[in-house]
Amino acid sequence: MTHRTIPGDEPLRVVLAGAGSMGRAWLSTIVAAPDVELVAVADIDPDTARSATAAAGWPDLPVGADAVALAATTGAHAVVDATVPEAHHPVTTAALFAGLAVLGEKPVAATLAQALSLAAAAEVTGELFMVSQSRRWNPQLFALRAMAADLGALGTLTTEFFRAPRFGGFREEMAHPLLVDMAIHPFDSARFVLGAEPVAAYCEAYNPSWSWYDGAAAATAVFEMEGGIRYVYTGSWCSPGAETSWNGVWRVSGEKGSARWDGDTGPVLDADVLPAERSPSPYSGIAGALQVFAEALRTGSTPMGEVHENVLSLAMVEAAVRSAESGRRVLIDDVLDQAHEQALREETHADVRAALAGWTSVRSALTA
């Protein structure tokens, strides 16, 4: 997809929307980024925005409740959307239609239907919408992906994720905290490592007897990926002792050998092959995502995480939840088609609705 670019000789001017815990991480990242200028901070609660700018040492930065209004008065090019998931659709839609590019936090939107609407809104407006899936921007994950490419045909990819955080708040009240809030990261990384898209999901989600969560704090999911590869995720958010890293523990099993990654240190190749020479990824974390976003806005290139490319990670989450609730294997294309029908029913922008209606296949609209 082509998108509008900005002149290469001026800084990228950014409004940050959402000044909560992730917003504060973005605030310091934007301020530190070369050739990027933070021009304002929006939060639905302007006092939250003011205290975040003051804490970061920028007490005079303009703040307000509306990111688009602040962008208009400050001449911004783009919005970084670090609001709560339910606000991603309205905040990002308003920004795209105001002629602003958007770099959004994961998940792309609160529902898959809203995610499809945002992909269509990017098409209609010609603005770049990229999703920052922060754990994908990990040089060690890039190295694991390179090793996977050396293993010949691939059979199985596994992730084990076992931790025992006590967050309090909304995560302890969600029906599927592990799948919806956390597992989207490894699901997204699995697509990246395998270079293969999901076909079907079977998942069991459950809550161990000692869990301090209301919903399913543990889950095991098996995804069929393109080419018949299986991706197996098993995790728990109430598993004290022998905790894995926050990235989880990974194994790729292929025709010529295996690669393992503990999620914290460099991956290890165990295969009778001569690994191809590859330079390490220069991008890391949300700073890497911001750098790639800025480059894409200057060059017109399509960045990793462009909305169309990101949506299938959320589709994996919705398919896993649906499988866990129904006890059935779920086809990703069925999940996409139902989300498309819902998006057409809910869409209020006539031209976004027309763009959605023009998609003959959701998968091909996302992967073209």
Ligand X SMILES: NC(=O)c1ccc[n+]([C@@H]2O[C@H](COP(=O)([O-])OP(=O)(O)OC[C@H]3O[C@@H](n4cnc5c(N)ncnc54)[C@H](O)[C@@H]3O)[C@@H](O)[C@H]2O)c1
Instruction: Using CB under 6 A, list all residues that contact ligand X.
Output: 17-23, 42-45, 48, 82-85, 87, 91, 105-106, 134
Q: How far is the CB of 74 from ligand X (least distance, A)?
A: 16
Nearer to ligand X, 91 or 201 (CB): 91
Q: In whole angstroms, what is the distance from residue 272 CA to residue 280 CA?
A: 22
Burial tier of 288 (Cβ tally within 10 Å: 0-12, 13-18, 19+) = buried
Q: How far is the CB of 167 from ligand X (least distance, A)?
A: 10
Nearer to ligand X, 168 or 327 (CB): 168
Q: In whole angstroms, what is the distance from residue 80 CA to residue 27 CA?
A: 9
Q: In whole angstroms, what is the distance from residue 355 CA to residue 307 CA?
A: 15
Nearer to ligand X, 235 or 254 (CB): 235
Nearer to ligand X, 44 or 124 (CB): 44
Half-sphere exposure (Cβ direction) of 193: Cα atoms closer than 13 Å: 35
Q: How far is the CB of 138 from ligand X (least distance, A)?
A: 11
Select from 17, 44, 43 the least CA-distant residue to 30. 17
Q: In whole angstroms, what is the distance from residue 114 CA to residue 162 CA?
A: 30
Burial tier of 242 (Cβ tally within 10 Å: 0-12, 13-18, 19+) = exposed
Nearer to ligand X, 165 or 275 (CB): 165
Q: How far is the CB of 329 from ligand X (least distance, A)?
A: 28
Half-sphere exposure (Cβ direction) of 12: Cα atoms closer than 13 Å: 29
Q: How far is the CB of 85 from ligand X (least distance, A)?
A: 5
